[in-house]
Chain A
């Protein structure tokens, strides 16, 4: 199978800041990718460049083997509805869907109709008068019903309540099962989307800090809690990504897996072991990977940490 997206050493510099720094990626077909990271980490910038809506300052971009810029052969197969997607003021949701149906070869009106019912979206109301959540629903519906070979969802849930978000995740899994395609889902609500992802890409301050199968990452770290001294003995030379101390107790997150005898040893030392979720690990990593971000310490965790 051929690679869908190939990015080599892409940087994006705005006047004062670097939005992307040396990003190199390869995305395989028919997988659901999670593009995770904090707000402002560079997720939208990267997706804009991949869809030729934005431009890289340097580096190579190949989508379906070609440069996407002004390239109809490539763009025909892509759908990218932005988080803050603009629609013509005069449009209703119905106009937007009719337009989308013109341009996406695999458009499923049946799916669109069903999603409209699911999200209880008023079709004939002027788009300017829709709530933030309803506006997001319009984008989600276009993204799903387009069935584009390469679909980007950029934080698609803004203003959607928990029920509507779950609906989106369910429909995504369901339709993807029947019509496999490459999906890139950008999000900072990691726990919510973690189980949907086959592959995880974590971006932090414009750099890719994680690029691996979700299942590999899930088993790749553990947390030990117990007396600080015993924890230290137990961990030995393992790579620690995070540690918390409280009186004589320590809670340490370390990389690696534990075999049976190590698990037994921990139990005998009276240490507690806990698995580390994708979200916890990403939070730990994005915090440890950004020592330069001491300025961001006043907002240390944002939503990600919770």
Chain B
């Protein structure tokens, strides 16, 4: 059996974590929403719930845990970093895809039943569910992957450079955001930005999430072949000879 598949099976050794608990969270948040809807009087309008994101945040936590705990265990089993990363990413993609399809299907049911008979909107949220079938699937998939990978990368940065590293990255991201806002504000560009955001399709937003999630893989952490790392060349890194061919984010190489 392929070792990447074995990593997926290892991650699934306790099926509750990746399958059971997400299902329970989804069912619970949905039931809770239905109960709440039944309490508030129906004025004929659409009732929107954000409950469907509960599962996604759970995946953010899973992203953190799979690096802080499962990664060290995988090292004890002599699994290479590359195999661990690919296996974990594959499992995650699979689950994100299944969840996204489930959301889309339940969204269809929701629309077909007039919002579960009470005009509710849980899965088929406005705008997300508009358009062809692949748009909501791509959107949900991208959001889940982004959350998982952001959790994964944050934990990686934390493991490599401790709290300081996380702080530096956090502050940098915040500064970049503030800087962007300042530039937009100082140029009175808000109307244009609004128009730009309004014109985004679900697919485009999914794309943006993908860029966000994969950024550490490609852009802001260079390829290992360059031999340099995120917070720079302060720490020298002796690149192992055969590592040129390793398509793996530098960050993962550097965790001791």
Residues in chain A within 8 A of chain B (CB atoms): 48, 51, 53-58, 67, 69-72, 75-82, 85-92, 95-96, 98-100, 102-104, 139, 142, 148
Contacts and interface: CB of A to CB of B under 8 A. Distances in A.
B82 A70 contact: yes
Given A85-B72, A88-B65, A91-B14, A103 B238 contact: no
Interface string B58-88: 0000000100111011011111111100000
B242 interface: yes
Interface in B239-256: 240-243, 246, 248, 253, 256
A55 B80 CA distance: 14
Interface stretch (B5-13, B25-33, B149-157, B213-221): B5-13
A81 B137 CA distance: 41
Given A67-B242, A71-B242, A103-B6, A91 B82 contact: no
B245 to A, nearest CB: 9
Given A55-B256, A86-B69, A88-B70, A102 B78 contact: no
Contacts of A57: 238
B77 A89 contact: no
Contacts of A87: 69, 73
Interface centre among A55, A69, A89, A92 (most CB of B within 10 A): A69
A80 B78 CA distance: 7
Most buried by B among A69, A99, A142: A99
Contact of B73 (A72, A77, A92, A96): A96
A33 to B, nearest CB: 18
Nearest to A104: B77
A44 to B, nearest CB: 11
B74 to A, nearest CB: 8
A99 B13 contact: yes
15 contacts: A67-B240, A70-B81, A70-B253, A72-B83, A75-B78, A78-B78, A82-B72, A85-B76, A86-B73, A89-B69, A90-B16, A92-B14, A99-B9, A102-B6, A142-B77
A98 B6 CA distance: 11
B17 interface: yes
Nearest to B79: A103
A141 to B, nearest CB: 12
Contacts, number: 98
Given A76-B78, A88-B65, A142-B76, A53 B10 contact: no
A50 to B, nearest CB: 11
Contacts of B77: 79, 99-100, 102-104, 142
A53 B240 contact: no
A79 B76 CA distance: 7
Contacts of B75: 51, 53, 80
Contacts of B1: 102
Given A55-B238, A67-B242, A75 B80 contact: yes
A103 B5 CA distance: 11
A85 B17 CA distance: 21
A95 B240 contact: no
Contacts of B76: 79-82, 85, 139, 142
B243 A75 contact: no
A70 B73 contact: no
Contacts of A85: 72-73, 76
B243 to A, nearest CB: 6
Contacts of A72: 3, 80, 83
A141 B193 CA distance: 60
Contacts of A75: 78-80
Contacts of B79: 75, 103
A91 B13 contact: yes
A55 B240 CA distance: 10
A57 B235 CA distance: 11
Contacts of B65: 88-89
B246 A70 contact: yes
